[in-house]
Amino acid sequence: QLPHLEEVLDGFRDLCYAGSKVDIVIYTTVIYPVAFIDMFNDRMRCNNPSQNSGLTTTMILKPNHVRLHLVDFHRQLFYERIDQYDVFIYTEDDIRISPTTVAAYLHETNRVESIVGSQHATDFNVGIVRYEYDFPENV
């Protein structure tokens, strides 16, 4: 899964270079070697000079027995930090989020608000649909 994770993280780094402040929190049950963490930290730098941009990455180790419930931990983090961010993005290790994706999400969210009004806009949530092609082997 590591190559997929690197692709996802590259997308978040692109968000930083596009001018966003990005805080990445990775929940994992895998104990990574120190050499990997050093390489990871070196790759996850964003040198955007804007004071509004930045990139931090935090890895949180969870016990191995949580297994499929690893996907549940982000909710508590969202509630704890709800007043610190404009947008929260939850993704798994194979879904790349680009600056274009975030811009489209924000644009469509604003469209919903302009249609239904700000009072009712919270009744709606714009989503992003991801799909994959399953081409036959001879294509």
Q: Mean pLDDT across the stretch 126-131?
A: 81
Q: Residue 20, class by beta-carbon neighbours within 10 Å (0-12 exposed, 13-18 middle, 19+ buried)?
A: buried
Q: Mean pLDDT across the stretch 54-64?
A: 92
Helix residue ranges, H only, 1-139: 2-17, 34-43, 73-80, 99-116, 118-121
pLDDT at 93: 67
Distance CA 100, CA 120 (A): 26
List Cα–Cα distances, 26 to 60, 123, 134, in angstroms. 6, 29, 29
Half-sphere exposure of 97 (CA within 13 A, CB side): 22
pTM (global) more than 0.75 = yes
